[in-house]
Amino acid sequence: ANGYYYSVWAKCIWSSHDLSDMVFIDNYIFNKDVYIQFNSTVGEYVGYTEHGVYNAKNWNNIPGQLQSERAQVEAYCKNNAEIDQSTITGKS
């Protein structure tokens, strides 16, 4: 399995039951290294390599793309967390 590997990992992090501290993180990975990341706390893309910094600058100038990423806390994270919590509390 020689070659290049590209992946995107989205994750939600929270520690309280009311989900008020929830953070959405979207990592863009090339060959096991995060080169660009969106963090809902920061509210924009941050680049970690030369290519990532270049893309972050460009992606941060696309209002629709930033709005879409920012909306993922509600649409993706909180929605799924509420489903998970109701499943867990319903079985105890």
Displacement of CA 75 from its chain's centroid (Å): 12
How confident is the model over 16-36, as pLDDT tens digits? 777 788 999 999 999 989 999
How confident is the model over 38-52, as pLDDT tens digits? 999 999 999 999 999
**pLDDT exceeding 70 applies to what percent of the chain?**
90
Q: Higher model confidence: residue 90 or residue 19?
A: 19
- Is the C-alpha dihedral spanning 71, 40, 46, 9 positive or negative? negative
Q: 21, 17, 62, 19: which is closest to 40 by C-alpha?
A: 21
pTM of the model: 0.81
Q: Cα Rg for the chain, rounded, in angstroms? A: 16
CA distance 66 to 87: 31
According to the model, what pLDDT value does residue 58 have? Answer: 97
pLDDT of 3 > 70? The answer is yes
